[in-house]
Chain A
Amino acid sequence: MIDVFVRQMSGFGAAYRRELGAYFATPMAYVFLAVFLLALGLFTWEAGRFFDTGVADLQPFFMWHPWLYMIFLPALAMRLWTDEASDGTDELLLSLPVGIPGLVLGKLLAAWTVAAVGLALTLPMWVSVNFLGPADNTAIALTYFVSLLMAGAYLSIGAAVSALTGSQVTAFVISVVIAFVFTAAGWPLVLSTVQGLFGTAFADLVARFSFITQFEGAQRGVLELRAVAYFTGFIATFAYLNCLWASRQRLG
């Protein structure tokens, strides 16, 4: 059992370091971080009216996370497998004595690390909110944690789809569409429509699969095991699909 796991995970460290190096060897990671932080700042201050709420919390900041992740994280993940296909290096990878799950998780974790760096660079927000008044720092730490978990879910969509298509643009568009479905499912506008069409019970079910709904609990500062399990399960499902789609090539 354990040795099967070790064999399947072989190549994890090599893939992780290679991908992380690739993000920072090109302007890719820096451009992503700069634009992501700019957008997050803009939304928090302009649209979220950070200083006008009169409450020392990060609600106007966290509320934009799902929407910005929906656009930015597929852009970060789209190159993970399409680059291998366009450069022909997938053939090199498949000739190595490594497990596909190791490669899949190594690549995913590399993209996740870049996203985590982006999130870490917003920590000054957390510091400044403490100057504005007494802040619930446990709640904020918790929300950061669930946000990072949610980022992994968005990335797992992008990574899996990039193994499916072979073209970065196609991978990005399809990933954003899938991400939009899982985000907007918790949007009141969508939910009221669904409720009108299929009834309350179905609307509740749809809402439960939404990233926004799952993230809301965390924003209130409640650690819901359900949300953690949801995002972990979501990542596992898409990582599994990623493995299937990445090994398709072996069949010819």
Chain B
Amino acid sequence: MLDVRALEKSYGAKHAVRGVSFTVEKGTVLGFLGPNGAGKSTTMRMIAGVLEPDAGDVIVDGKSILSDRRAAQAALGYLPEGAPLYNDMTPPEFLRFLAEARALPRAGRRDAIDRAIADARISTVSHQRIGDLSKGYRRRVGLAGAILHDPPVLVLDEPTDGLDPNQKRAVRALIARMAPTKAIIISTHTLTEVPAMCHRAVLIDRGRIIADDTPAGIARRSEDGTLESAFARLTDQVEDETQ
């Protein structure tokens, strides 16, 4: 469903992503983990077609993000880091804008918007401007935008970052509901939610993949069997190697 092939990206002298490859099948939720500045967001932005890779390719539902960008982007839902939104719009206005930009069939637009509003549980704030919403609601409006066109592939950059425990649970439940029919990538800093939410985890550090396994499999690589210490050990190890 999603095939990421040897992505490379440099910003000037900084080599941010160095040959990242992985595939995600339908029904899989992949946790994309790594320290700050490891290249998570850069990789996700390349998958979403926001950033052009220096080398490599991304195949979304059979379409290349390089040679057939619009078709690939049509099959992909993306929640950028921090869920940027148009503050002067209400959530339904924002979703109508996305539906029009994505050229969804006119007849199905209203249904798609109603479904996204219901799925993201934002019907109670429909009349408020997005700029007046709390962080949790803003994140959910962003999520509604990402799932509006019911894409087979979802790329969510820190969907639960900065949310309170209840909001996190709501987002996790939404992802779990969508999981069987989609290929989903989620980046997160909160390692404790990874085993509950993800079937698989890819650990990235300094632009390279250093582990690709089930959350339990990665956890087993540490002495005490927790994901936290495995994360610390694996990312430290890379640091040692490069010194």
Q: A88-B82, A89-B84 are contacts. A250–B101 as well, Cβ < 8 Å?
A: no
Q: Is B85 an interface residue (CB 8 A)?
A: yes
Q: Is A18 an interface residue (CB 8 A)?
A: yes
User: Size of chain A's interface in residues, with CB distance under 8 A?
Assistant: 27
Q: Is B55 an interface residue (CB 8 A)?
A: no
How far apart are B135's CB and chain A's nearest CB, in angstroms?
Answer: 14
Q: A21-B89, A25-B89, A252-B9 are contacts. A91–B97 as well, Cβ < 8 Å?
A: no
Identify which of B24-32, B66-74, B159-167, B230-238 touches chain A: B66-74
Interface centre among A7, A18, A26, A88 (most CB of B within 10 A): A18
- CA separation between A60 and B70, bound complex, in Å? 51
Is the CB–CB distance between A10 and B103 below 8 Å?
Answer: yes
Q: A7-B70, A18-B86, A252-B9 are contacts. A95–B52 as well, Cβ < 8 Å?
A: no
Q: Is A54 an interface residue (CB 8 A)?
A: no
- CA separation between A250 and B82, bound complex, in Å? 19
- CA separation between A98 and B101, bound complex, in Å? 7
Residues in A whose Cβ lies below 8 Å from that of B93: 21
Q: Is B175 an interface residue (CB 8 A)?
A: no
* Residue-wise interface mask of B (11-26) relative to A, using a CB-CB cutoff of 8 A (1 in contact, 0 not): 1000000000000000
Is the CB–CB distance between A14 and B70 below 8 Å?
Answer: no
Is the CB–CB distance between B50 and A87 below 8 Å?
Answer: no
Interface of A is mostly: helix
* Residue-wise interface mask of B (43-87) relative to A, using a CB-CB cutoff of 8 A (1 in contact, 0 not): 001001111100000000000000001110110101010101111
Is the CB–CB distance between B101 and A252 below 8 Å?
Answer: no
Residues in B whose Cβ lies below 8 Å from that of A98: 70, 101
Residues in A whose Cβ lies below 8 Å from that of B70: 7, 10, 97-99
Number of A-B contacts (CB under 8 A): 80
- CA separation between A25 and B86, bound complex, in Å? 11
Residue of A nearest to B146 (CB): A95
- CA separation between A96 and B94, bound complex, in Å? 13
Interface centre among A13, A26, A92, A252 (most CB of B within 10 A): A92
A residues with CB within 8 A of B:
7, 10-11, 13-15, 17-18, 21-22, 25-26, 87-89, 91-92, 94-99, 249-252
26 contacts between A and B (CB under 8 A): A7-B70, A10-B101, A10-B103, A14-B97, A14-B101, A17-B100, A18-B86, A18-B97, A25-B88, A26-B88, A87-B85, A91-B50, A92-B78, A92-B80, A94-B49, A95-B48, A95-B80, A96-B73, A96-B102, A97-B74, A97-B101, A97-B102, A99-B70, A249-B50, A251-B51, A251-B52
